[in-house]
Structure 1
């Protein structure tokens, strides 16, 4: 980056949780997320200051996937909106994109063969891979220049920082590559780190080969924290078609160095042992992948584990992955400096959450745990929160099926289970079991507390209701406290009549202790613990009925199966490393101590995993739903993770960890409703829409066309026998092959000439005779299947005839690329033919669909309940924006109140505060339009993006400044909110 350039700002955490930059006692005050100088340098190459600026360009879900030329839509979006990238010209970005495409195709080969869903990258995953391409290219091409560029970025960062917050530059006098051979990815749990890792392996090997250094690599090693995670990685490598094996000391096989060797980092030692491996046995020229990189980092730069893994890649390279670098470096200057310079990509949980991924969360505060009566009431309130989720799933489950909600699971987790059992009269785990026993046994007391909670909540000495608004469904479902108690027995405890609590050690299922009520009822819970006998003995000493029985299966490993009876799981920190489930809906914290932030954030990340509609991984309020898919009334209860602790200090510690991660502490969030003004007026506006049904079949997603229309056959245009097809000749497919050629030239391919004026031509009959029509046919069939176009016929014979016909397309390509000088050209011609056929198939299918649907179009009045008219309320008169704000943001709340009063009074004046902006334009059918350029609040429906905001501001300026132009015509504007539903506005005549 050139010297003297304006200092780049870094991506900042939410203003609600960001520590103010102050210098106190000469200690660092800048949050770690501000210090990521490598990440800042990557962003500067795109001429942006914050990650949010790239995210705003790429966040639209419609951009996921490839075009017919197998170029990512993300690439087109980036190059269309970012101009004059002197360090990243378009052709270089295309080269990087095509590398990512090739690696992705390789990862998908086995998935496609098995009929599994292929990998389609989310925008942040694509950016992670693109950043990797940029870094590796420069690292291999000129590590010295890369080091100098990074030192410039460090100098820019250090310019206005006090000494404790400064980052130490790289040593410009020493060899650059050993200082640059470690990069890290700070990515939230559930954001797809494993798939990114698989692609990173291929990216590294590509550049290693490209620069003639493949022979230098000794091994590819993956370090994991435990055996469970090692086995999980082995399965996932197999899915991606990557050779992998658990490391064995027995010696290297015939294909040594080709397979990824998976090893627990805890087994590395200075010397060889029975169950440990000496680091020296691996040499130092390895590609080392480190999963859950926070493990071993806590010992500092000189920690034993850190030393071992550094030795493994001393002459090689390392990729590191973790969701919790922020916690791992806390209070350690050396680690802060190290990771500030090697975290390549930051998509930590604050970004993941604000993008709408994963569950929402609610913290059930506990202020005083000393009073047993108060404590039991608190725990019953937590039980009711879980029961509400369970009942909703059981009673209204059909409504939630499109959103792939799993049966709710209540987990109790902590940093350890058996470690403190012998040191306390009653450990956390025994305390939980004693509560369950009391709840079931003391029927009347439990019913009394249920009634109190539902009527009055749980009010602290300060008058605060800890569960305000959290039992809306239970209070309106028609059950009284007694009925709710009885249902909890059958729904949660699998025991309609109740019974005594039994704790059973399962022989044959190592480390598993079953929970049941009564001797005859099935299990309702399982404890997964290291020392099961010790735990059972402690339970017996505390008056809990115990026993043991033979058990051939595993309650723990079957939890994710649909017929699992387990509703409650109690376990240790192992859940933070390797175990995963979509079921977790309520989480109880045990043994949360200081210095365990990394483990707790990992645990939190696993708890908020969500499949979402169409596997979007998003909460329903952040997903563009089809018109016919309504958002179920109570789904938010099932898309929210309830979090509570059995001791008050656990909750205080957990809240501190969230704040440090830049996350809102949602126990004190305000729900603010901002009204909108409708500008429909008296003028009746018409829209042209396809009928909702044709002969009783929905037209959504083209269902009616697929089921009712004659099945079209893909053919060449023939206006003589089929007059309408002259449209296909007038609106020809255009395939520009020049971008592909430019990518080849950038990639070092020789013999490629770029002409000044595009050469327009066609494939001749001679070219077509060289093509493999069977291969093209199957590629088109796959293309059909991807789009769900099962109602179009394609014949290999028609493909040949179609390609011979030149009336429907234009091909822009250098003339020499079609020369008959080498058989290598045939592969290119087949690629061109496939791209042309896909473009034409899409156009032909759309043409036939519109042709059939045309008689079924109708005029409709634009009604107040149109889905594009901003509907959050239950009726057109109740429409508003829903804004979630941290209670501590008193200034924002006050300013929003001012805006609300202005809207109600009709004073539509400019309003902007802390990155939130209200836009007024009377020609839009409702006002205001909201834009947000910060993470201080969460707004539904989705606010304007930057491009939309600029368009509206420019259009308003033109409208206001050209009164004569609009004298005899009117302008109407309406933002398209619903997925796939455009809107045309026509004045009523």
Structure 2
């Protein structure tokens, strides 16, 4: 009997069902460019990456992807260009908005994949077809006997793309930025771009939203569609799912279950998505489809797990530095942006080249940088659009939450002209600071913005740290400190055996506090302030507050080893203490 792949199942009619992700070849190829074997691998790796852009205009996801080293199959200069395009398109969308949009990590990834596809589709079509079909051949070779092979791509297959995203994930925003992305890469004349919606209400809603994103439009009142959506596919997208949208705390789009801290009690009800249908058999099929795709349809059960503080430690009068309740640098201190050597910054805009060459005994890696330290001369400062710089810095200040920072229109230029000593170190090619043509002016403008963004952030942090240091007080640690927070353990209702095992473990009331357990992954360290110390290991178990990540678990484990094995017993506690079960 032929073996099924891990991602295939037997459907009700006896045929082999292949998960949707396994049928999305273009997505799998894009994932492979960053060294990911699946969507799950990619999202797990990137979900905790910082959102937004650093003072030099590079996204934190860009830095994370660069850190993947040889797993990255995209040239760094290309990745840097894609990242810069996304930032510019986002700025265009944010230009008319009162509240600037910050991209969530999955929204950024959707735009990054769009950048890659459009670049290859418009500029390297033959190579794109070659790469995709080579990828298909490799996939087909790895399939088990009897599995249906994936078809090869044709040029017509690359004329339509669709996005696989949840309701409420910001698809409208993504579509608006896609508009700018398409115009950036398309070089053919266009008559119109049509946005098709299923009803007039959604047409009205998309306006309003296109107005906010600075997209010119005309609304079509009626449109007839024949034989659309008659078969399975992506021709009809999201015919339902519109309703009241909750933005999430701080515009995060996250439900409360994914956020730390206390939440209003009714918020869970408001966050619940209810789907209704006239034909019940359709909903049954829809639910079965979700279950085959691995989506939990029965909800989660929540189990309370109380922590136990180490009362012995609390008698040692441990001190905790913190600001007095009600005090805030943002609310109490107005800060005027001015020259300060403590905030001097370094901005690197050089091109880096890595080369590998063979030699006796192996290979050698050679790294080179094109460019050196530069100073922006007064003549070049006269070419900068200072009004645009000032407006961009005001947006940056708002995005960072620096509401108490005063930025005068003349200050940006004064900071770059300050020379006793200079407030920045710029590594770049000479053409960046001395443009020889109008085409090179954007590099000068970008250099100025990168320096000033980085300076503003460092300046603010320096003064914030100084203020907090002066106003910090020390208090004794007690059980009322926010560190001592009970867990809520969430397990899918379909995992009945696991639920029973975790319930029994909690009801026992002892083992989870004295050793490491299989049912509820944790790391036991008797010198910690409380027990248990949960870790993120079993995907079926979610904890609020979240458990330790793998890097945090390793830190605690290494600290435990040091205390027990290398500190000569001085830190290991009283004799006869229970071992940790590692």
Give the TM-score normalised by structure 2. 0.81
Evaluate the alpha carbon distance shift between residue 765 and residue 149 of structure 1 in structure 2; reply closer, same or farther with a 3 A threshold. Answer: closer
How far is 1:858 from its partner? 0.8
1:454 corresponding residue in structure 2: none
- Residues 299-354 of structure 1: CA deviation (Å, up to 9, x unaligned): 358xxxxxxxxxxxxxxxxx96735xxxxxxxxxxxxxxxxxxxxxxxxxxxxxxx
The higher-RCO structure (CA 8 Å, 6+ apart) is 2
Gaps of 5+ in 1: 1-8, 13-19, 249-262, 270-295, 302-318, 324-575, 583-608, 718-727, 743-753, 872-878, 973-989
The separation in 2 between residues aligned to 1:680 and 1:49, in whole angstroms, is: 47
- Residues 244-269 of structure 1: CA deviation (Å, up to 9, x unaligned): 22459xxxxxxxxxxxxxx74x4358
CA contact (8 A) 1:676 1:903 kept: no
1:70 corresponding residue in structure 2: 57
Evaluate the alpha carbon distance shift between residue 941 and residue 734 of structure 1 in structure 2; reply closer, same or farther with a 3 A threshold. Answer: same
Matched, 1:686 2:299: no
The runs of at least 4 consecutive aligned structure 1 residues that moved more than 6 Å come to: 642-651
CA contact (8 A) 2:104 2:252 kept: no
2:303 corresponding residue in structure 1: 672
How far is 1:703 from its partner? 4.1
2:66 corresponding residue in structure 1: 79
Matched, 1:623 2:259: yes
- Residues 218-259 of structure 1: CA deviation (Å, up to 9, x unaligned): 6433333334433433443333222222459xxxxxxxxxxx
Match among 801, 811, 818 for residue 426 of structure 2: 811
CA contact (8 A) 2:431 2:440 kept: no
How far is 1:128 from its partner? 0.8
Matched, 1:852 2:459: no
2:111 corresponding residue in structure 1: 129
CA contact (8 A) 1:79 1:90 kept: yes
How far is 1:127 from its partner? 0.8
Match among 29, 32, 35 for residue 47 of structure 1: 35
The separation in 2 between residues aligned to 1:969 and 1:89, in whole angstroms, is: 52
- Residues 648-674 of structure 1: CA deviation (Å, up to 9, x unaligned): 87986675465355432337x433334
Q: What's the RMSD between the two structures over aligned residues? A: 3.8
Match among 215, 224, 227 for residue 242 of structure 1: 215
CA contact (8 A) 1:48 1:54 kept: yes
- Residues 677-700 of structure 1: CA deviation (Å, up to 9, x unaligned): 43463343221111113xxxx42x
How far is 1:797 from its partner? 4.5
CA contact (8 A) 1:187 1:321 kept: no
CA contact (8 A) 1:674 1:883 kept: no
CA contact (8 A) 1:658 1:665 kept: yes
SS where residue 9 of structure 2 aligns?
Answer: coil
The separation in 2 between residues aligned to 1:651 and 1:657, in whole angstroms, is: 10
CA contact (8 A) 2:302 2:491 kept: yes
How far is 1:909 from its partner? 4.9
2:203 corresponding residue in structure 1: 230
1:89 corresponding residue in structure 2: 75
2:376 corresponding residue in structure 1: 763
SS where residue 960 of structure 1 aligns?
Answer: helix
CA contact (8 A) 2:563 2:569 kept: no
The separation in 2 between residues aligned to 1:959 and 1:198, in whole angstroms, is: 51
Match among 889, 904, 913 for residue 510 of structure 2: 904
Evaluate the alpha carbon distance shift between residue 704 and residue 577 of structure 1 in structure 2; reply closer, same or farther with a 3 A threshold. Answer: closer
1:725 corresponding residue in structure 2: none
Evaluate the alpha carbon distance shift between residue 861 and residue 660 of structure 1 in structure 2; reply closer, same or farther with a 3 A threshold. Answer: same
- Residues 847-870 of structure 1: CA deviation (Å, up to 9, x unaligned): 33333333321112222232233x
Asked which structure has the greater CA Rg, the reply is: 1
Evaluate the alpha carbon distance shift between residue 862 and residue 70 of structure 1 in structure 2; reply closer, same or farther with a 3 A threshold. Answer: same
The separation in 1 between residues aligned to 2:107 and 2:304, in whole angstroms, is: 34
The separation in 1 between residues aligned to 2:95 and 2:282, in whole angstroms, is: 47
SS where residue 183 of structure 2 aligns?
Answer: helix
Evaluate the alpha carbon distance shift between residue 157 and residue 909 of structure 1 in structure 2; reply closer, same or farther with a 3 A threshold. Answer: farther
Gaps of 5+ in 2: 354-366, 574-582
Counterparts of 1:440-455 in structure 2, within 5 Å, are none
Match among 819, 832, 836 for residue 447 of structure 2: 832
Match among 279, 295, 298 for residue 663 of structure 1: 295
2:237 corresponding residue in structure 1: 322
- Residues 413-441 of structure 1: CA deviation (Å, up to 9, x unaligned): xxxxxxxxxxxxxxxxxxxxxxxxxxxxx
The separation in 2 between residues aligned to 1:798 and 1:102, in whole angstroms, is: 24
The separation in 1 between residues aligned to 2:403 and 2:558, in whole angstroms, is: 48
How far is 1:68 from its partner? 1.9
2:496 corresponding residue in structure 1: 890
Q: Structure 1 stretch 84-93 or stretch 929-938: which is displaced more?
A: 929-938
